[in-house]
Chain A
Amino acid sequence: MSSNPVTDNSATASEQTDMSGIGKSRAAIDRDLKAIIADVLGLDADDVNEFTPETGLFGDLPELDSMAVAGLLTEMEDRLDIVIEDDDVDGEMLETYGGLLAFAEAKIIEG
């Protein structure tokens, strides 16, 4: 039996266009996460759309202070339908956009 999620045939019609086989495609998570960042930090959506995996977040974005982190995590829980535990929150997760995106993907798959 393969543990590869690509072999999961239970996906709904809309999910079958998703090559990764998880509930939400990487592109969809990327789009949602960028929208959340733009909304929570009050950034221009066009600027956030230019984020790359290497774009620095905590420590680089002046808008992302510790209170904004709390708001960002809560909004991610709401809009991505995930649960984020205290221990999930570390420097690596918030250091770059790529790190946060990978975290969100892992949580969605886990969920």
Chain B
Amino acid sequence: MLTHWPCPQPSGKISEEMLAKFDHPGRPCVLVIPPLFDEHNKFRRQIIEIMRLLDDLGIGSAMPDLPGWNESTAPLAQQSVGAWQAAMGAAANHCEATHVLAFRAGVMFAPPSLPGWAYAPQTGAKQLRSMIRAQVIAAREAGADESSDTLMQSARESGMILAGWDLGAQLVRELEQADEVSLGSLAEITQSELGGRGLWLRAEPDEDPEQAAALATLVAEELVAP
């Protein structure tokens, strides 16, 4: 189920990126878009569990790494929202995806032509704000008089390592501007529909079999509905 896919880069080069997938030829294939940064790490285990459950229900799914994500060796500091959107479109074609299931800020990369679902969608701007805040709190604990405004200004101009993530200036500016969730043709799935707590809030990666089953069932029911 772990393979690679040829990811086109803005330079025109192709990079081989990892692809987690469950094949069911002739059946729907759900393109799974994980959250960004730390939330990706915390959610990945749960997402794989959801993909396994969809597999049991006879539904294919594919979760591609994009450059700078997960196992990718591409430097995160050189990536941009625009390049990731283009790459996700290419991944959808490569996987012959019929639907999208986007998690949190991953909704930014959903190919607009595909129907599907957005789980607990989050804006890039809020994601960035949270990382800036963590940086400010850490700096103040270390005795430095840091403010969100000055950090943002610096990050916008020259990029910044935030909470351990090396963000380039272009990516920072694009995330800041992404201050509205655009669902397009995606249906929103709220946390309250699944019950339990949002796993992106956990300090450590965690899983919740009941939530995974609720989400997989919701997707499967809509896929087989007339």
Among B126, B136, B147, B203, the residue within 8 A (CB) of A68 is: B203
- Is there an interface contact between B148 and A71, defined as CB atoms closer than 8 Å? no
- Is there an interface contact between B203 and A42, defined as CB atoms closer than 8 Å? yes
- Is there an interface contact between B203 and A74, defined as CB atoms closer than 8 Å? no
Tier of interface size on chain A:
10 to 19
Binding site secondary structure of chain A: helix
Chain A positions within 8 Å of B, measured between CB atoms, are: 38-40, 42, 63, 66-71, 73-75, 77-78, 85-86, 89
Q: How many A-B pairs with Cβ below 8 Å?
A: 41
- Is there an interface contact between A70 and B133, defined as CB atoms closer than 8 Å? yes
Indicate with 1 or 0, residue by residue over B159-183, a CB within 8 angstroms of chain A CB atoms. 0000100000000000000000000
State which of B4-12, B29-37, B194-202 sits at the interface with chain A: B194-202
User: Inside 8 A of B126's CB, which chain A residues have their CB?
Assistant: 74, 77-78
Q: How far is the CB of A40 from chain B (nearest CB, A)?
A: 5
- Is there an interface contact between A70 and B130, defined as CB atoms closer than 8 Å? yes
Asked if B57 is an interface residue, CB under 8 A from chain A, the answer is no
Cα distance A40–B42 when bound, in Å?
A: 13
- Is there an interface contact between A67 and B134, defined as CB atoms closer than 8 Å? yes
Cα distance A68–B133 when bound, in Å?
A: 11
Cα distance A78–B136 when bound, in Å?
A: 19
